[in-house]
Chain A
């Protein structure tokens, strides 16, 4: 088994944090983000996990789920629901926000783009009234959501003033040693600018739901 990661890519932050938290033994290889690792994909896709049976996993969320399962923690329905929300709702908004902030210099638009997803997360956290997203123990959902939000929330203190539950949850995960050191490895303390070359290689986000001229209503 081998985990292959690159710098400046929040998807890699997910898997390194999960690896540290679960304590699964697996060598990590650092490569350039444009390196083709998964043989059947036309676009470079990192992180990747080479499984013991020779197959490649190319989805960070599936890799995290696998590491937690190997460590004896299966995903519950609720956990899967958060991972699906992250992949289908949060990721498109994050990509759009990061694209604007890092490549177009419009950092001020980030909080508006992320308003909807952050409101949803904040409501769920305050309603659930639990220490972590699902109950009282760290789950794969915490790691995946924290890592996805890490680059923006480390910069965007304004958005967190309005989202108190997100802030206390985010700080709680960020204080975990494995998460701290994963963030240091992937982001190298460079902030959003450290993601520039990674973002330049991502397909431009589709803004079909929210056009540039009209404000988004959700």
Chain B
């Protein structure tokens, strides 16, 4: 899972030569074999490294504040979204829905790595949602649909159909 994510991220970033990865432990934590130094361990650590390697620092946030917000959601991704229970899922979707009420992206108005990794992590939860639930978490669904249609992001994941006519004001009425 994490390795496919990192490979999708590499493609999005346009990194030419693919990196070598392995995994570590029961939780299959990704490890990047680094030519120039010791290996880097952990999804967030490796993803931030790739972003810097691709010289796209804006994906980590363009101010100290937004960089902190990005790091916070990256941590949320690896601590809350990985291995969550049914009850956790409800809380996560409820909280995110509230958070995204007045935001386009996780770091306000700027598309960042937090959107990419949160999208990769939450996709399996959204796939399983019933139609009513998608309506219940309308802000999450709107954000999710936006990110899955963001150029070059979806890659290894299948698109999830969300009810566009409920979420966006339809032009066909």
Contact = CB atoms under 8 A, between A and B. Distances in A.
| Binding partners A and B | yes
Interface of A: 39-43, 51-53, 55, 57-59, 61-63, 65-66, 69-70, 75, 77, 80-81, 83-85, 87-88, 91, 206, 208-209, 218
A208 B83 contact: yes
Contacts of A51: 65, 68-69
A69 B68 CA distance: 9
Contact of A91 (B40, B44, B79, B108): B79
A75 B91 CA distance: 30
A140 B65 CA distance: 17
Contact of A84 (B26, B45, B65, B95): B45
A66 B64 contact: yes
A61 B45 CA distance: 14
Interface residues of B, number: 34
A81 B75 contact: no
Please classify the interface of chain B as helix (H, G, I), strand (E, B), loop, or mixed, using the class held by over half of its residues: helix
Interface of B: 25-27, 29, 40-45, 48-49, 52, 64-65, 67-69, 71-72, 75-76, 78-79, 82-83, 85, 91, 94-95, 98-99, 101, 108
Contacts, number: 87
A132 to B, nearest CB: 17
Nearest to B42: A84
B93 to A, nearest CB: 11
Nearest to B39: A81
A61 B75 contact: yes
Nearest to B78: A88
Nearest to A128: B38
Contacts of A52: 65
